[in-house]
Every structure is written in structure tokens, then in C-alpha cells.
Amino acid sequence: MAGFVARRLTSALLVVTLTSMFVFALFFLGPGNPAGPVCEAQGRCTPERLAAIERQMGLDQSVVTQYAAFVRGLVVDRTVVVGGEHTCAAPCLGISYGSRQEVTEELARRFPATLSVAVGGATIYLLVGVTTGSLAARWRGTTADRLLVGGSLLVSSVPYYLLALLAWIVLALQWGLFPGTGYTPLTEDPVAWASGLLLPWLVLGVAGSTQYARYTRGAMVETLGEDYITTARAKGLSPRRVVFGHGLRAAIAPVLTIFGLDMAALLAGTVFTEQIFGIDGVGSWALEAVRAPQDFPVLHATVLLGAVLVVVANLVVDLAYGLVDPRVRTS
């Protein structure tokens, strides 16, 4: 097991490094000029002033030198010139061109909101989806099976942003069934934290549960046809124990893979959820950076965050396989 973890950590570090290099090249070697927004913010941007700002930001240096400075900033403090000198503490992901704030600090401030949305929504859609899929597989071919599968297809056919927008307008604004949405730090007011996120959790959970219901049903139908399930039934075990105690444990393994990747994507930024329900998280921050004139440090940081989370999610899922399904073991 130790050797397996070491190999996966090594490959994970390689993937994150290559992603960092690719994103750096994409943003800093692309057609856009990172010095352009800074120059325009200072007034009339002449070619001479633009060239001077490029020298101040170090953009006239080689790509290798620029990337080395970025990597070095992850370990030690460095000075970043963006409309003035800024001392960026390690790990330094740069200075936002729009807010002139350290990207690392801004990311740390916004991430708890995204984490709250992601964990709550993922918990609901995993529980609802797996339960619905398991029940549909147990009642395969019956009216209940068709209703569960048909309901999942109906919900999944509605675009998520439209579903979230309608839920906010109808349930929160018109009917007043939910309090005002938004994010309040858990440490400040737990009740306001939960009440402000309740509707986003439910909408995200219901929308996400549909695919898990279908995945779980398909895996469960195949698993319930295995010989050891037939043996368990022949021993006189209750249907609930056969389905949930034996069948679900084996069928849940492929669902974990999808859940790990989905969870990483949610943590990287729930853009539509945060925008519609007024949550100041990583997703809305990334969208603001896209709208702003080439806020490269923010975009770079959010993409790197997504890469790290996907790599970590894959590693956790691989390690969880052996715990969920005894037939799966890492050598």
C-alpha cells in the first residue's frame, strides 16, 4: 500500500506541475498581454508606457525565468509589480490585476463558501441518487422503477441554471418558503449559514442526484445478477440486507469514481450556483476574472486549484476502492 501511495503521489505531483506549466504558457504566452490591463488602468496607455510596465512586471524576461519566479514564489516571498510594488507572501499565486489583492488571500477567503456549497450539495445528491438507483434496481421492471427512472430523466432534461433560477424566483422570492440566500461564515452564525445555503443545497442535490440514480441502478442491476447474490438470497437473508448489504457495496465502486471527480469540480467552483444565489465563492470569483480585462493571476489560480482537486480526488477514490469492495486490492 505504501508503494502504491508513493507512486500515485509522484504521478499527482507531475500532473499538477505539467498543468501549471501549461496554464502559465496559455495565459502568459497567448495573444493577450498581461501588462495591458495594468497600463489601461493608469490612464492613457501609450506604447512607451506599456513597454515600461512590461519591464517592471518582468514580462521582458524569458519564459523560463518568469516561470521560475512563479514557482519560487510558492516557497518564499517575492515582490510583484502590478501598478506598484507588492510584497506577496508565500505561497504566492500573484496579485490580482483588478483588486490589487494577493490571490492566495482572496482564494482562502472565498474557498469556505464554495466548500460549504459543494459538501452540502454533494451529500444530498449522493444520498438521494444512490438510494433512488438502489430502489429502482430492486423493483426492476415495476411501475415504481419506471416512475423513479422517468422522474430522474425529467429532472436531468432541464438545464441546471434554469432549474436553479426558477427555484430561487419561485421558492425564495415569490412564495417565501426559504429565507434569503447567501453565505454567512459558519463561525459567525451557524443558523444563518445553514439557512442561507439550504435552497442551493437542495437544488444542487436534486439536479445532481439524477445521474447517480441512473449509474447506481445500472451497476446494481448487474450486481444483483451475480452468483453470490443468488447464494445470499438462498440462505434466507432479507431483501434489504441482500440489496443494501451485499449488492450496493459491490456496485458503489464505479459510482465513487464519478463522485470523486464531481466533488473536485464542485470545489473548483460552482459558478451557476454562486451567481444565482449570491454566494461569494471561487466560482463567482473566476467568472469576475473572465469578465475583467485579463485578470490572469486569478484565472491561473482557479485553474490550478481545479487541477489539484481532481488529482487528489482520484487518489482518494483509488484508496477507497479497497475499503468499499473487498475484491479490489492495490498491490
pLDDT digits (tens, 9 = 90+) for 162-214: 999 999 999 998 998 887 778 999 999 999 999 999 999 999 999 999 999 99
pLDDT in tens, 103-158: 999 999 999 999 999 999 999 999 999 999 999 998 998 999 999 999 998 998 99
Phi first, then psi: give them for residue 295, nearest 5 degrees. Answer: -85, 75
pLDDT score recorded for residue 199: 94
Contacts of 229 (CB under 8 A, 6+ apart): 223, 242, 246, 247
- The grid coordinates listed for 251 are 456496485
Instruction: Confirm if 218 and 187 have CB atoms less than 8 A apart.
Output: no
Ordered by where they begin, the domains of the chain are: 34-92 (no CATH), 107-324 (1.10.3720.10)
Name 147's bridge partners: none
Give yes or no for a cis peptide into 293 (omega within 30° of 0): no
3-state SS class at 253: helix
Q: Are 208 and 121 in contact (CB under 8 A)?
A: yes
From the number of C-beta atoms within 10 Å of its C-beta (0-12, 13-18, 19+), residue 216 rates as buried
pTM of the model: 0.85
pLDDT, the chain, mean: 86
